[in-house]
Amino acid sequence: MERNTRQKSAVREALVVAGRPLTPFEILEGAQALVPGIGIATVYRVLKSMTADGSVVPVELPGSATRYETAHRGHHHHFHCRGCERVYEVAGCPPDLARFAPPGFVLDGHEVVLYGRCSTCAVAGEG
Amino acid sequence: MERNTRQKSAVREALVVAGRPLTPFEILEGAQALVPGIGIATVYRVLKSMTADGSVVPVELPGSATRYETAHRGHHHHFHCRGCERVYEVAGCPPDLARFAPPGFVLDGHEVVLYGRCSTCAVAGEG
DNA sequence: GCGATATTGATATCTTGTTATCAGTAACGC
DNA sequence: GCGTTACTGATAACAAGATATCAATATCGC
């Protein structure tokens, strides 16, 4: 039978607190604040089971490692900061994307990724 | 001094003929039709130099290997077929994406990826 | 509290995409 | 046509992300 462990709670909590998609390594850092000593293997294991049970969903963006976010967040897209490499959730979605599909193509999904600088990096001018 | 070789021409030709972003392996297949015996290492080498001189640009999409397309094709996006995994170019672009960026965020680029079935796979029902 | 066993942490291993190595080949200025 | 040397093909090596291994530990029904 599945057991509730401090490690699983820490992973879930790290994702909830962040409110944005995190890489396994970012999750590790967040979870270590709650459970010192937690290892990356455990993070991957927990993410795998949470993805399987649907409580967490993978977020794949161009050219970077898979991130994870809590499920049931509604349709949304992402903003990828070029300064800190963090990914943020953005509400809203361009209407009528189907008109861009070539004739005869069947559209069943889409992904929009915005690039630029988050409020912190825009001010700091870093990166 | 740089030399023109049949291999370089074959890689370029494969990209031009396809008219869509190709993976290094797809390029290899296309180039082998022109130059039997061409190897994957050469494809990578040629792509690297063409990317460096700007005649070819890398196309990174979520969850798949980097593809390459000829440069100077103007602003466009891509359609990723779930059936054959081929990626097609799509013209057009949703207007006013800046309104989706959170307050204080500076937008300097975007990527739109459409998913579904290309005309061939839509008819075949395969995948 | 006890015991069965699911889970963990450290690390080795695997996978996929890409690059380096190196001897043999071919492009091109002459 | 020749010679120099950039280029090629086969394959070993790398890199990064993810998974497997295994002894030690912690959870939870009793």
- Examine residue A1 and state whether it is found in any structural domain, yes or no: no
Residues of the domain holding A61: 6-70
Dihedral of CA atoms B17, B61, A99, B101 in degrees, nearest 10, equals -140
Mark whether B64 and B81 lie in a shared domain.
Answer: no
Mark whether B64 and B84 lie in a shared domain.
Answer: no
Cβ distance of B111 and A115 shorter than 8 Å? yes
Mark whether B10 and B66 lie in a shared domain.
Answer: yes
The verdict on pTM exceeding 0.75 is: yes
Q: How far apart are CA B23 and CA B6, in angstroms?
A: 20
Query: For residue A124, what pLDDT is reported?
Result: 80
Question: What sign results for the dihedral spanned by CA atoms A38, A43, A49, A53?
Answer: positive
Where is the domain boundary, A36, A54, A70?
A: A70
Mark whether A103 and A51 lie in a shared domain.
Answer: no
- Examine residue A18 and state whether it is found in any structural domain, yes or no: yes
- Examine residue B1 and state whether it is found in any structural domain, yes or no: no
Closest CA–CA distance from residue A4 to any residue of chain B (Å): 31
Mark whether A64 and A81 lie in a shared domain.
Answer: no
- Examine residue B100 and state whether it is found in any structural domain, yes or no: yes
Q: How far apart are CA A123 and CA A78, in angstroms?
A: 20
pLDDT tens digits, A85-127:
999 999 999 989 999 999 999 999 999 999 999 999 999 865 5
* Helices B24-32 & B6-18 angle (0-180, nearest 10): 110
Strand C bases within 7 angstroms of protein beta carbons? 6-12, 16-21, 26-29
- Name the residue with higher pLDDT: A1 or A119: A119
Nucleotide closest to B37 measured between CA and C1'? D9
Residues of chain B with pLDDT under 50: none
Residues of B within 8 A of A92 (CB-CB) are: 99-100
Name the average pLDDT for chain A.
95
- Name the residue with higher pLDDT: A1 or B118: B118
Mark whether A47 and A13 lie in a shared domain.
Answer: yes
- Examine residue A95 and state whether it is found in any structural domain, yes or no: yes
Q: Per-residue pLDDT averaged across A56-81, rounded?
A: 96
Residue B100 burial by CB count (10 A; 0-12/13-18/19+): exposed, middle or buried? buried
Residues of A within 8 A of B92 (CB-CB) are: 99-100
Nucleotide closest to A2 measured between CA and C1'? C6
pLDDT tens digits, A16-46:
999 999 999 999 999 999 999 999 999 999 9
Residues of A within 8 A of B127 (CB-CB) are: none
Mark whether A65 and A83 lie in a shared domain.
Answer: no
pLDDT tens digits, A46-66:
999 999 999 999 999 999 999
Query: For residue B114, what pLDDT is reported?
Result: 97
